[in-house]
Amino acid sequence: MNKAAGNDYLFGIHAVSAMLEKDAARVRLLWIAREAQKNQRLKRLQSLADRASVKIQGATNAELDAMVGGARHQGVVAECDAVASAQRSLDLPELLASLDEPPFLLILDGVQDPHNLGACLRTADAAGVQAVIVPKDRAVGITPVVSKVACGAAEHVPLIQVTNLARTLRQLKGEGVWLLGADERGEVPLFKADLKGALALVMGAEGQGLRRLTREQCDLLISVPMAGSVASLNVSVASGVCLFEAVRQRTQ
């Protein structure tokens, strides 16, 4: 999301639809491109906005471009109240204490591509992950592109940014959370690993994978079996494969 004067600007048909369906009270104003107001997908957005008593304002595509810095907005921008500070500064111990089921977490070690983070958040939401943990430095946070790709998940899956990832991993181990790191050199194939119980899946960054200190904190390194010519998967794809194998095991 873009931010201005205490507001967030969310854009893209899927992301704005999700916001109107799940948290319409946050939407102050909906901007729709005049050139695209007859688009059937935007008409559905207008219906959602009308149902939630959200004011709709017409704008030119050029005006919408200026609002979101030239990003692909698909003819719609929502001006929203900023996310509550409690969501932004969620405390990990507090989260763990609040759970009434074993922790199921996703940890991303230095993911910098907003498309990847957005896709990981969307997959985490679908898999029932309770929080996504990322380092504060040398990693992407919530951006307009992340929110658009996440299609509403960025507003509902807690994203916990930590100062020292290795220390956080040690803290999780102290709470009895099993840390499984995904690495192409992992000694156990994903489909033979036990992914039940208190679990955090640890995924590496684009290109470099898990950093040494992160790898050393993992209880076990697992690998995704690769039958083709490529050596590894994109981090968001690998996260999806690992998370839903965990879901399969945890729901048997």
| Mean pLDDT value of segment 45-61 | 90
| d(C-alpha 234, C-alpha 252), whole Å | 28
50: domain range?
2-82
46/130 same-domain check = no
Could you report the per-residue pLDDT of 59-77, keeping only the tens digit for each?
998 998 888 877 788 889 9
- 108 and 42 in one domain? no
- Flag whether pLDDT at 36 surpasses 80: no
pLDDT digits (tens, 9 = 90+) for 139-183: 887 777 787 777 767 777 889 999 999 999 999 999 999 999 999
Domain shared by 119 and 176, yes or no? yes
Lowest mean pLDDT among 100-109, 180-189, 238-247: 180-189
Regarding whether 188 and 170 lie in a shared domain, the answer is yes
| pTM of the complete model | 0.74
Q: Tell me the CATH number at 101.
A: 3.40.1280.10
CATH number at 62 reads 3.30.1330.30
Give the domain-ending residue among 40, 63, 82: 82
Mark whether 124 and 215 lie in a shared domain. Answer: yes
Report residue 6's pLDDT band, with 50, 70 and 90 as the boundaries.
very low
Last residue of a domain, one of 29, 53, 82: 82
Task: Give tens-digit pLDDT for 7-26.
Answer: 578 888 888 887 888 778 88
Q: How confident is the model at residue 5 (pLDDT cuts 50, 70, 90)?
A: very low
The predicted model gives 38-62 an average pLDDT of 87
Residue ending a domain, choose from 65, 82, 99? 82
Higher pLDDT, 83 or 132: 132
Looking at the fold, whether 98 and 49 belong to one and the same domain comes out as no
Same domain membership, residue 209 and residue 147: yes
Do 56 and 130 fall within a single domain? Answer: no
Band of residue 1 on the pLDDT scale cut at 50, 70, 90: very low
DSSP per-residue string spanning 37-104: TT-HHHHHHHHHHHHTT-EEEEE-HHHHHHHTTT---TTEEEEEEPPPHHHHT--HHHHHHH-SS--E
